[in-house]
Amino acid sequence: MFHLRCIACGEVYDRREVIYQCPRCSGLLEVVFDLSEISVTKAEIESRAFNLWRYRELMPVEDYTRVVSLNEGGTPLYRADTIAEEIGVKELYIKNEGANPTGSFKDRGMTVGVTKALELGATAVGCASTGNTSASLAAYAAKAGIKCLVLLPAGKIAIGKLAQALLHGAIVVGIKANFDVALKLVREICAKHNIYLLNSINPWRLEGQKSEAFEIADQLGFEAPDRVVVPVGNCGNISAIWKGFKEFHELGLIDELPVMTGIQAEGASPLVRAFKAGESSVTPEPKPETIATAIRIGAPVNAPKALLALKESRGIAESVTDEEIIEAQKLLARKLGVGVEPASAASVAGLKKLVEAGEIDRSERIVCVTTGHALKDPEIIFHRYEKPIEIEPSIEALEKVING
């Protein structure tokens, strides 16, 4: 079975308690499985459909036949030889999380999160979001038939994500402040009005997201890569992926563990600064700024978990500029045919920077996670890329164009 445990003071809590942080010390909670009770073989796993519920024994739900699912997970792992060559590494893969039902890895968290919400008797769910969390929660709440409230930093949301939250019928509220303020507000309203909170402070959500690790290992023939590179905002995903690898390792499904590498945008890089200074907690960035809206976060709530993941895996953290992010987005789009939103491209931009700096060995087997789909943020493409060409409707004018 499984229960909740505080990562700061170690206190344990029953899985049926509706808590998001340790009631004793406010520390972050994590879900702990008794792995000695779990026996699942590679052959059993391989006999099932390729989606998140392929790893059902490691998902903390009471009854997996009643989960709220949109068939999330099962995303492609592309071998990216052309990009590997460009960057100068031997073996590179792209785990394309944009291929999830609502276009980001958040769906992995929400299938478990919304299932837990129903198990705990909730009739409404809420979140603050830089965009993808709200898009995903709105869809899963719709599937579950419960109400959904989302708070967004007004005017700072990529248009595709906002459209999704509206499309799925969430109550969408723009807050005239940044994400960190919106998160504080939604935590208050959730506590006051019995709305179940599904930000990544919620430990159940991260359980769904750890399946990214299971899938990567599974797709590599039950082997961990040498390194996994992850874009980092609120620090939930990198922590979840590390937890997934640790559990597969403990169960004997993989023999090695990867090195975790977290990449932030330069204008929103509190984790990177804390990591480089060797600090055990982050100093919030009051005015986070980057075109990569999904990681424009100044006070990452899961930073303690991410710092632990970096420490345990002997990992590293680095930041990249917006220009480097766009360059990597272009590389993915034009050398691999994979369209990603800017935040996603941070992983590839970070890899390039770290390889050039000699911090990553060129002979490693590396997986870069791309977190969200290009159509989440079409405006960035219109602003940063070539404009469409308009001409008079004549063959001569058209020939002029194709002849350059």
Nearer to ligand PLP, 179 or 253 (CB): 179
Residue nearest to ligand PLP (CB): 372
174, β-bridge pairs: 152
- Rounded to whole angstroms, the Cα distance separating 298 from 123 reads 31
Chain Cα centroid distance, residue 146:
24
Instruction: Say which entry of ligand PLP, Zn ion, none residue 27 contacts (CB below 5 to 8 A, set by partner kind).
Output: Zn ion
Shortest approach of ligand PLP to residue 218 CB, angstroms? 21
How many other CB atoms are found less than 10 A from the CB of residue 18?
13
In contact, 60 and 205? CB cutoff 8 Å = no
Residues that bind Zn ion (CB under 5 A): 6, 8-9, 11, 22, 24-25, 27
In the complex, what is the shortest distance from the CB of residue 45 to ligand PLP, in angstroms, rounded to a whole number?
A: 25
Q: Which does 311 bind (CB under 5 to 8 A by kind): ligand PLP, Zn ion, none?
A: none
CA distance 134 to 106: 9
Closest to ligand PLP by CB, 234 or 319 = 234
| Residue from the set 142, 217, 263, 343 that interacts with ligand PLP by CB under 6 A | 343
Measured CA to CA in angstroms, residue 307 lies from 9, 11, 310, 344 at distances of 17, 20, 5, 20
Helix axes 303-312, 236-250, angle to 10 degrees: 40
Secondary structure (3-state) at 196: strand
Binding partner of 9, given Zn ion, ligand PLP, none, CB within 5-8 angstroms per partner class? Zn ion
Which of ligand PLP, Zn ion, none interacts with 341 (beta carbon under 5 to 8 A by kind)?
ligand PLP
Binds 269, which of Zn ion, ligand PLP, none (CB < 5 to 8 A, cut-off by type)? none
Tell me how far CA of residue 82 lies from CA of 216, 356, 373, in angstroms.
20, 17, 20
Q: Which partner in ligand PLP, Zn ion, none is near 231 (CB below 5 to 8 A by kind)?
A: ligand PLP
Question: Which among Zn ion, ligand PLP, none contacts residue 120 (Cβ within 5 to 8 A by kind)?
Answer: none
- Nearest to 201, CA basis, from 392, 377, 4: 4
How many residues in the shown chain lie near ligand PLP by CB under 6 A? 18
Nearer to Zn ion, 142 or 307 (CB): 307
73 vs 236 by CB, closer to ligand PLP: 236
Asked if 132 interacts with ligand PLP (CB under 6 A), we say yes
Four-point Cα dihedral 321, 325, 327, 332, nearest 10: 160
Q: Of 349, 93, 112, whose CA–CA distance to 217 is shortest? A: 93
Among 101, 218, 344, 354, binds ligand PLP (CB under 6 A): 344
- Locate 262 and state its tokens: 């977290």
**Span 63-122, contacts to ligand PLP by CB under 6 A:** 104, 106
- CA 209 to chain centroid: 7
Contact between 370 and 339 (Cβ < 8 Å) = no
Q: Which is nearer to Zn ion, 22 or 272 (CB)?
A: 22
CA distance 23 to 171: 29
Q: Residue 263: name its binding partner from Zn ion, ligand PLP, none (Cβ under 5 to 8 Å by kind).
A: none
What backbone phi and psi angles, to 5 degrees, belong to 236? -75, -45
Tell me whether residue 228 or residue 253 sits nearer to ligand PLP (CB atom).
228
Q: Using CB distances below 5 to 8 A depending on partner kind, what does residue 25 bind out of Zn ion, ligand PLP, none?
A: Zn ion
Tell which positions 206-245 bind ligand PLP, by CB under 6 A: 231-237
CA–chain centroid gap for 90, Å, is 25
- For residues 106 and 227, which CB has a smaller minimum distance to ligand PLP in the complex? 106
Cα distances from 219 to residues 83, 216, 279, 308, 368, in angstroms, run 19, 5, 35, 26, 14
In angstroms and rounded to an integer, the radius of gyration of the C-alpha atoms of the chain is: 21
CB of 49 to ligand PLP, least distance (A): 25
* Selected binder of ligand PLP within 225, 371, 374, 380 (CB under 6 A): 371
**Interface positions with ligand PLP (CB under 6 A):** 104, 106, 132, 200, 231-237, 294-295, 341, 343-344, 371-372
